[in-house]
Amino acid sequence: MPRALVTGGNRGIGRAIAEGLVAQGHEVVIGVRDMTGGASVAEAIGAQAVPLDLTDLQSRAAISDAGAFDILINNAGVLPEGGMLANPAGFAACMAVMVEGPFDLIRALAPGMVARGYGRIVNLSSDWGAFSQGLHGPNAYGVAKAALNALTLALSRELPAQTVKINAMCPGWVATRMGGAGAPRTPEEGAQTALWLANLATDGPPGGFFRDQKPLEW
């Protein structure tokens, strides 16, 4: 049974992804900052919870203590207020949660995937970080997503594509705490492409950027 880690899996798209993976028969662990609330969510959806604060280097480094994972879903995200020059702390948080954190988790978990001959890594990105769309994301959020896209493509050239596949995806505008109640898509709809990428067959694509299971331009 493949074992999956979903960061920020206690609400929104992350929770929908975790629930979907559980329904598919995977053993699922959600990484959460608040273990009290996170443990309750994990119990409700049939998963486990581990403490994980992507803004904290020691917390990221400790993820190896949770064991081996075959699937990594880098879902956690933050959307700070204000511009980058006015809010440098927001820029730092974006880079920690959406670039440095995913990189550290991949560094920690990918060697085991390579050794076992199987791995699926899914980076939750956004077309707000796509140069093809004019990099129109707000403040540091769009910059971090662009960097996450670049990281995805670059690492796809280092990982063995036949066995360990890394891809990025855009869930679209989803009704979550970040997306707002007026968004047209449900978390479950936003989660579908992540679930597809988490279960790619051997001949599935590596190093791509997708929405609704269709390629997007970087």
Domain of residue 54, CATH code: 3.40.50.720
Please tell me the predicted confidence (pLDDT) of residue 65: 92
Q: Which letter does DSSP use for residue 130 in this model?
A: -
SS3 state at 218? coil
Amino acid at 191: A
The answer to whether 141 is a known catalytic residue is: yes
Q: What counts of helices (H) and strands (E) characterise the chain?
A: 7, 8
% pLDDT > 90, the chain: 89
pLDDT for residue 118 is more than 80: yes
Q: Look up the domain containing 159 and give its range.
A: 3-215
SS3 state at 123? strand
Domains: count for the chain:
1
Q: pLDDT per residue over 151-209, tens digit each?
A: 999 999 999 999 999 999 999 878 777 777 777 789 999 999 999 999 999 999 999 99
pLDDT for residue 25 is more than 90: yes
Mean pLDDT of the chain: 95
pLDDT for residue 63 is more than 90: yes
CA–CA distance, 187 with 134 (Å, rounded to integer): 25
SS3 state at 12? helix
Please tell me the predicted confidence (pLDDT) of residue 181: 79
Q: Which of 69, 91, 141, 218 is catalytic?
A: 141
To which H or E segment does residue 214 belong?
strand 214-215
For residue 48, what pLDDT band results from cuts at 50, 70 and 90?
A: very high
For residue 150, what pLDDT band results from cuts at 50, 70 and 90?
A: very high
What is this structure's pTM? 0.96
% pLDDT > 70, the chain: 100
Pick from 109, 92, 91: nearest CA to 31: 109
